């Protein structure tokens, strides 16, 4: 067990690892986020991975999460399948970005580890009720369907959550699936609305941050130099993933969205943002799924999220590469 001895400066020596549930729809960048968590066992204890339909349908996101666990030799990780469709809408997927499987790029074997019995939503509820209040962080990398359903089914869990750190939304950068909406929120705006109205502490990593984190050739080269099987697979995933983005954004490399969530837990000082009110548009045909961020505090609405806007990109990639080398 980690030793919580006091240092001379009054800080604790080794704090115990922070307990997290990763809710995800893998996706190459989701895989990178999971790998970052696996490379940081001293700081993060992954209680389980819950999968949701999003980038690709549920059967594939559940497959892909287990592939990443096996790739990183973390087969003891509990993986639970969750919602196969949004709360109130038809599923929209993103094979045009992630490829047919969601992890296109490397040659990957089918997973042999089993999914856990039971539904992801029940696992989330049971875990939050079992663990001490204020100790479990939810890390959401996809549409918020599982979380919205859990909050609807068991409102008592909301105050028990330490915080919910999410990749989703956009403001100054606009959207990436429609002009107004970022993909994760667009897929299930009703679920996002439940989460943002719930009172849970939200930290939001929008496109405004992730578009600053480009998988430039020099950064991918450093990852390739690690030389391990997980790093090699990640390089091949990123090379596939960025083809779409380079075409779209015309930049050297594409944005790496989801690892921002895990990086924030490891090194919050990499990010800068402010507390804002965020409302989710659920009715307008034109802007459905938009995260309406009151950045300038022009309303009296309650500030319900810490919205990040700036990131130290070099520091972020240094962290990613350092931790990938540990897997």
Catalytic residue ranges: 257
Beta-ladder partners of 37 = none
Omega prior to 188 cis, within 30 of 0: no
Using alpha carbons only, how large is the chain's radius of gyration in Å?
18
Q: How many CB atoms lie within 10 A of CB 88?
A: 11
Which residues have CB under 8 Å from 60's CB, separation 6+?
101, 102
Q: What angle do CA 138, 205, 150 make, to 5 degrees?
A: 30
Tell me the C-alpha to C-alpha distance, in Å, between residue 27 and each of 56, 155, 167, 226, 305.
8, 29, 13, 22, 25
Task: Report which of 192, 193, 194, 126 is spatially closest to residue 160, judged by C-alpha positions.
Answer: 126
CA 259, 60, 190, 147 torsion-angle sign: negative
Instruction: Check if the beta carbon of residue 79 is closer than 8 Å to that of residue 65.
Output: yes
Q: Rounded to the nearest 5°, which phi and psi values hold at 221?
A: -60, -40
Q: Rounded to the nearest 5°, which phi and psi values hold at 51?
A: -110, 155
Tell me the C-alpha to C-alpha distance, in Å, between residue 184 and each of 3, 86, 176, 204.
39, 11, 10, 12
């Amino acid at each position: 067990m980690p030793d919580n001895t006091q240092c001379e400066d009054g800080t604790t020596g080794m704090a115990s690892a922070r307990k997290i549930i990763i809710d995800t729809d893998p996706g190459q960048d989701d895989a990178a986020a999971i790998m970052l968590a696996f490379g940081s066992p001293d700081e993060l204890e992954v209680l389980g991975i819950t999968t949701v339909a999003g980038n690709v349908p549920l059967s594939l996101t559940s497959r892909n999460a287990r592939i990443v666990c096996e790739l990183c030799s973390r087969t003891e990780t509990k993986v639970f399948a969750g919602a196969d469709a949004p709360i109130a809408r038809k599923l929209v997927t993103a094979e045009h970005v992630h490829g047919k499987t969601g992890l296109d790029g490397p040659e990957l074997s089918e997973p042999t580890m089993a999914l856990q019995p039971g539904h992801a939503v029940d696992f989330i509820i049971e875990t939050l009720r079992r663990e001490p209040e204020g100790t479990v962080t939810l890390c959401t990398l996809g549409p918020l369907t599982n979380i919205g359903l859990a909050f609807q089914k068991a409102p008592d869990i909301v105050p028990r959550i330490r915080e919910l750190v999410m990749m989703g939304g956009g403001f100054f950068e606009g959207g990436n699936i429609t002009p107004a909406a970022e993909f994760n929120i667009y897929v299930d705006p009703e679920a996002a609305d439940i989460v943002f109205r719930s009172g849970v502490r939200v930290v939001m990593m929008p496109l405004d941050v992730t578009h600053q984190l480009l998988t430039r050739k020099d950064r991918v080269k450093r990852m390739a130099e690690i030389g391990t099987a997980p790093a090699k697979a990640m390089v091949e995933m990123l090379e596939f993933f960025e083809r779409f983005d380079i075409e779209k954004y015309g930049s050297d490399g594409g944005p790496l969205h989801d690892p921002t969530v895990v990086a924030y837990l490891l090194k919050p000082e990499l990010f800068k943002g402010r507390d804002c009110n965020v409302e989710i548009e659920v009715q307008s045909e034109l802007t459905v799924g938009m995260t309406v961020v009151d950045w300038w505090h022009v309303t009296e609405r309650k500030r319900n999220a810490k919205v990040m806007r700036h990131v130290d990109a070099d520091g972020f990639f240094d962290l990613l590469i350092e931790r990938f080398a540990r897997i």
